[in-house]
Amino acid sequence: MDRLSLNAEERQILGKKVKKLRKEGILPGHVFGKGLESEAVSVKEDEFLKIFRQAGETGLIDLKIGAEKIRPVLIREVQYDPVSDIPVHIDFYQVDMTQKVKVSVPLVLIGDQPESVHLGETIVLQTLNEIEVEALPTDLVEKIEVDINPLKNIDDAITVGQLNFDRNKLTVSAADEEIVVKLAPAITEEMKKQMEEEAAEAAPAEGEEAPAEGEEGVPAEGEAPAESEKPEEQTPKPAEETPKE
């Protein structure tokens, strides 16, 4: 992946005062890393969003802080305003170029869907949307493509072990047999109606309550308990004598 660059400035404004920066189109952030002291920075919002669209969370970025410092970083986390959904803070993770890092890489489907999908008989069901990989920062990839052309029949599947990527550079945490995508039968209106009818038949009738857990074997009112359920008779204890003073 090509190295991108983003300009940043050392940030002196901290705490609640950063609201003023956001109004000016500037985002606050922090740079941190293993064995490094965290550094407060700020970047222009429009420039950051442009880089973020290209790099995602796996693209290596040269973060240029002022005129002298250049730090190789990954975008580790972007915090968003819960109402407006605009970014409000960024965490940059400075990497050691000689040490491997773990990141989540998106799995992107490519290829043509089978004819049965167009006929409404099947659906392409993606059960894994991203996968954690470990690699040197310079070996990270933006995405891993998954070719769905081999999917022809129901229950045909593509597993992690069948993904196409450089296994000498990337190590994945998922098991080889884990399914990424498969061809599944489409749920038609008729099938949906049948499932609803079966669910209705399995449900208790109106006014009828299913027996609660632990109620089995509870005798009806006026019915004597089973022999094994009778309480043991206890011999009354003699009254204790009050000691004389």
Residue range(s) in the chain whose domain bears CATH number 2.170.120.20: 102-190
Could you read off the pLDDT of 52-99 as tens digits, one per residue? 999 998 999 999 998 888 999 999 999 999 998 999 999 999 999 999
Using a pLDDT cut of 70, give the percent of the chain over it: 80
Mean pLDDT of 31-39: 91
**Would the pTM count as exceeding 0.75?**
no
Question: Looking at the predicted structure, is the pLDDT value of residue 111 above 80?
Answer: yes
Q: What is the CATH number assigned to the segment(s) 4-95? A: 2.40.240.10
CATH 2.40.240.10 domain range(s) in the chain: 4-95
Q: What is the average pLDDT value for the chain, to the nearest integer?
A: 84
Higher pLDDT, 225 or 35: 35
CATH for 102-190 is 2.170.120.20
| Better-predicted residue by pLDDT, 70 or 218 | 70
The pLDDT confidence band at residue 214, using thresholds 50, 70 and 90, is: very low
Query: DSSP for the chain?
Result: -PPEEEEEEE----GGGHHHHHHTTEEEEEEE-TT---EEEEEEHHHHHHHHHHHTTTS-EEEEETTTEEEEEEEEEEEE-TTT--EEEEEEEEPPTTS-EEEEEEEEEESPPPHHHHTTSEEEEE---EEEEEE-GGG--S-EEEE-TT--STT-EEEGGG--S-TTT-EESS-TT-EEEEEEE---HHHHHHHHHHHHHHSPPTT--PPPTT-TTPPPTTPPPPGGGSPPP-PPPPPPPPPP-
What is the structure's pLDDT at 16? 83
